[in-house]
Structure formats: C-alpha cells, structure tokens
Amino acid sequence: ISVPESWAKFTDNNILRSQSERAASAKLRDNMENLLVVTANEMWRQFNEVNVAFTNRVAETADAKSKIQTHLAKTLQEIFQIEMNIEAIRKAIRDKGPPLKVAQTRLDERTRRPDVELCRDTAQLRLVNEVYEIDETIQSLRQRLRDAEDALQVLVRAKSVLEHDLAVKANSLFIDQEKCMGMRKTFPSTVRLVGYI
C-alpha cells in the first residue's frame, strides 16, 4: 500500500523519466534527421560525380569513335589507291607482253639464220639487250604487284579491325548514353531520401 507521499514521489519519478526519455527520443530523431540529410547530400554528391564521370566517358568514347572513323576513312582511301595502283601495274605488265613477244620473235628469227648470216652484230646485241630489259621490267613490275597486294591485304585487315572497333565504340556509346544516362536522369528528391514521403 502506498501513501500519498510515496505515490507522489513515484509519479514524479515517472514524469521525470518520461521527460528524459522524450528528450532522448527527440535528440535521437534530430540525429537521425541530420544523418539522413547528410546521407542524402552525400548521395547527391556521388550521383553528380558519377554523372560527370559518365559524361566524360561518353565524350572520350565519342572522341575515340570519331578518330576511328577518320582513320577508317583514310584506310579506305588508301585501299582504293592501292587497288588503282594494282590495276595500273597489271595493265603495265599486260602492255609489256606484246613488245616482249615481238623482241623475242625477232631474236628467234635472227638466231635461225644459216651459216655466216648468224652474226653477233650490233643488231643482235641490241635485240638480246631489249629482251633482257623488257623481262627485267616485267619482273620488277611483278615484284611491285606482289608488294602492292601484300600492302592491300594489310590494309584490308586493318579495315576489318577498325570496323570492329567502331562497332564496339558505337555500342559503348549506346549503352552509356541511352541506357545508363537514361536511367540516371531521375533521382529521388532529398525529401524522399530523408523519408518524409
């Protein structure tokens, strides 16, 4: 059985403890709200940093794509020039065929002369020299043709690599710009992050 004094003391203690708990609860709520605001601000800062990093990445990728496109255009121009050069060399080789045949036929006819008529005179030496020079020219043209065809193969491989790199850059740009940045356009408000909504 309590007496009025003990009851009053017990009640006063309950009131004091209740006030203390309410003050502690209010302080905890303030600390939580401050922590939520700091966290929301940190999230905003991180969000902005990531957006800047994404924007820089997109710019770097677009620049790399542009450089690859320029390099690809130059490579295609070089391929065209080498193909034209190859065709010109082939035509030059074809054009050397008839003069070689004429010189060989003349030389063959001179070597079939009978007896004293078969003479190593200046005309004979010039024909031999002409056949040799035309044959040397044809061999030189064939070597140039092989070199040009090898260069063409190198350029075709480089073109293939550049086209693959260009496709990769285009895909990267699509993913970064459309997919990632598209999702990053909206960010919850600080009020929502703090938990009021």
Grouping H, G, I as helix, E, B as strand and the rest as coil, residue 120 is coil
Question: 93 is written with which tokens?
Answer: 């080789």
Amino acid residing at 182: G
Burial, 54: exposed, middle or buried (Cβ in 10 Å; 0-12, 13-18, 19+)?
A: middle
The one-digit pLDDT tens for each residue of the chain (197 residues) are 778 898 999 999 999 999 999 999 999 999 998 998 888 888 889 888 988 998 899 999 999 999 999 999 999 999 999 999 999 999 999 999 999 999 999 888 888 877 777 777 888 889 899 999 999 999 999 999 999 999 999 999 999 999 999 999 999 999 988 888 877 777 666 566 556 55
State the pTM of this model. Answer: 0.67
CATH number at residue 162: 1.10.287
Q: Could you report the per-residue pLDDT of 59-75, keeping only the tens digit for each?
A: 999 999 999 999 999 99
Number of domains in the chain: 1
Angle 194-184-51 from CA coordinates, rounded to 5°: 95
CA atoms of 51 and 186, how far apart (whole Å)? 11
Q: Which domain holds residue 22?
A: 4-194
Alpha carbons 157 and 167: distance in angstroms, whole number: 15
Burial of 132 (0-12, 13-18, 19+ CB in 10 A): exposed
Tell me how crowded residue 141 is: count the other CB atoms within 10 A of its CB: 19
Map tokens 């770097």 to a residue.
60
Q: How far apart are CA 102 and CA 106, in angstroms?
A: 6
CA distance 165 to 37: 45
